[in-house]
Amino acid sequence: MNSLKDKINKIGLQAKDASKILAKTSSAQKNKALLAMADYVLKDKELILDANKKDTEQAKVKGLSESFIDRLELDEERINSIATTLREIESFKDPVGKVLDSWTRPNGLNISRVSTPLGTIGVIYESRPNVTADAGALCLKSGNASILRGGSDSIHSCIAIHNSIQKGLNEADITEHAIQMIESTDREAVNMMLHGIDKSIDVIVPRGGKNLVAQVEKEAKVPVFAHLEGICHIYVDKDADKDKAVNVCVNAKMRRPGICGAVETILVHSDIAQIFLPELINALSARACEIRGCEETQKYSNNVLPASEEDWKTEYLMPIVSIKLVQDCDEAIKHVEAFSSGHTESILTENLNTASKFQSDIDSAIVMHNVSTQFADGGEFGLGGEIGIATGKFHARGPVGVDQLTSFKYLVNGNGHTRP
């Protein structure tokens, strides 16, 4: 049983068996494992950092982008953050077995809708090694088995973190098959996951770049929670607080330019362009952000490069932002509708009516008011981390946390009822 196919089929069967056990595992036992995982991640900090160093050094030799390396790189603070997230997930209420609704029919039938795990979740990701812990923990908390497959560029880091996770499972007497990792970097492993590993996987969650997510959505034979891109917008309304708007826009772009919640296009009401744009452009330029703008925007600074139609469609994931002037909120909404990926949009205004219109009319997974788009994150929503941001409309939308990793079933109780 040495072939890759045999090994992965075995992982699939083990996950399927584990999912049946996890569906009945107590909250106390799952929580014990999560706290132990957090402890072992901290105890194994040096091992994880050494593994990560191998990955980052190889990434630099390959000439991978700074934003990619930023997502890949771990330091003491980020490892502490992984442990903190694990403890946050432990603190949440168990999403399994909740009575979501119940009612009694006129004939005396008692009907309840009760939350249940999804089963086995396959997670395919690229550069972010922290996904190993986040995804495994969220699946465990929600009673699901997980099969993880990290990218080749982060493989050493992912394996090191997974080893710590396994120690936590063992300490809580939970089968190590609850959170499994495919260590092979062979792309055939991904293909097998996309085909469900012989009906072992119930849903796939891709975390990565556009090419990966597009491949998953195109080839998957099982349901997918996914978003292709994070083409996020901010609309600065004529009634925006200027200082507040500058700070929010700079944060939304430059806090971490390489994440999916980073703003890519800033739309500015033409009525405030003269007083707002020079200050925004100077603030972004001071942070070494490249600015591309429409013809009107270019008039306000020599630092603004011409924006093409392609810029409005681009997720830069780099210190680059595009700026366009619009005549009103309606034009801003039309632009967002035309170019958004359905991830996150934000309006900056002190006019509550305009804010309400924007939030009502925009059909993205997350629509904000006076908030940096960098808050598009499950942890910031109080979900204790996320397995991803879903931009579709079926089952899960926005940050996918423990509650979104459950389904439900109906429990119907009677007293010898027969249907006439």
pLDDT digits (tens, 9 = 90+) for 181-232: 999 989 899 999 999 998 999 999 998 777 888 888 889 999 998 776 789 9
What integer pLDDT is reported at residue 47 of this predicted model?
Answer: 97
For residues 239 and 206, state if they share a domain: no
Same domain? For 349 and 251 the reply is yes
Q: Are residues 269 and 160 in the same domain?
A: no
Banded model confidence at residue 169, pLDDT cuts 50, 70, 90: very high
pLDDT recorded at residue 348:
98
Indicate which CATH number applies to the domain containing 140.
3.40.605.10
Q: For 41-93, how does the pLDDT look when each residue is reduced to its tens digit (9 = 90+)? A: 999 999 999 999 999 999 999 999 887 898 899 999 999 999 999 999 999 99
203 three-class SS: strand
pLDDT band at 254 (very low <50, low <70, confident <90, very high): very high
User: Residue 265 domain-assigned?
Assistant: yes
Determine the Cα–Cα distance for residues 105 and 418; give it in Å rounded to an integer.
14
Number of domains in the chain: 2
pLDDT (mean) for 111-133: 94
Measure CA 1 to chain center: 35
Residue 269, amino acid: H
In a domain, 91, yes or no: yes
What's the length of the chain?
420
Do 15 and 155 have their domain in common? yes
Radius of gyration of the chain from Cα atoms? 23
Q: Say if residues 370 and 248 touch (Cβ distance below 8 Å).
A: yes
Please say whether the beta carbons of 345 and 336 come within 8 A: yes
E-strand ranges in 172-328 read 179-181, 203-207, 232-236, 263-269, 290-293, 304-306, 320-326
Q: Is residue 387 part of a domain?
A: no
Q: Are residues 214 and 237 in the same domain?
A: no
* pLDDT exceeds cutoff 60 at 275: yes
- Give domain status of residue 420, yes or no: no
Q: How far is CA 94 from the centre of its chain?
A: 21
Q: Are residues 10 and 119 in the same domain?
A: yes
Answer yes or no: do 236 and 206 share one domain. Answer: no
Residue 367 falls inside a structural domain:
yes
pLDDT band at 359 (very low <50, low <70, confident <90, very high): very high
Residue 380 lies in a domain: no
Residues 82, 18: one domain? Answer: yes
Residues 278 and 365 in one domain: yes
For residue range 310-358, list pLDDT tens digits in order.
Answer: 999 999 989 999 999 999 999 999 999 999 999 999 999 999 999 999 9
As a whole-number percent, the residues of the chain with pLDDT over 70 amount to: 99
**pTM for the model:** 0.84
Give Cβ neighbours of residue 236 (< 8 Å, ≥ 6 apart): 245, 249, 266, 267, 268, 269, 272, 276, 280, 348, 349
CB 372 within 8 A of CB 255: yes
Assess if residue 370 is contained within a domain.
yes
Whether the predicted pLDDT of 385 surpasses 80: no
Domain CATH code at residue 253: 3.40.309.10
- Mean of pLDDT over the chain: 94
pLDDT of amino acid 222: 93
**Confidence bin at 384 (pLDDT 50/70/90):** low
The residue written with tokens 């020599």 in the block is 302
What domain range includes position 253?
A: 232-375
Closest CA to 355 of 233, 232, 237: 237
Query: What is the Cα–Cα distance from 256 to 233, expressed in whole angstroms?
Result: 15
Strand order through the sheet with 179-181: 179-181, 145-149, 120-125, 203-207
Element (H, E) at 349: none
Does 416 have pLDDT greater than 60?
Answer: yes
| DSSP string of 393-405, one letter each residue | SSS--EE--TGGG
In a domain, 79, yes or no: yes
The crossing angle, in degrees rounded to 10, of helices 155-171 and 131-141 is 30
Q: Are residues 28 and 140 in the same domain?
A: yes
Residues 194 and 250 in one domain: no
CA distance to 235, 338, 348, per residue, from 293 (Å): 14, 17, 19
Could you give the percent of the chain with pLDDT greater than 90?
Answer: 84
Minimum mean pLDDT range among 28-42, 208-222, 277-291, 375-389: 375-389
Same domain, 246 and 332: yes
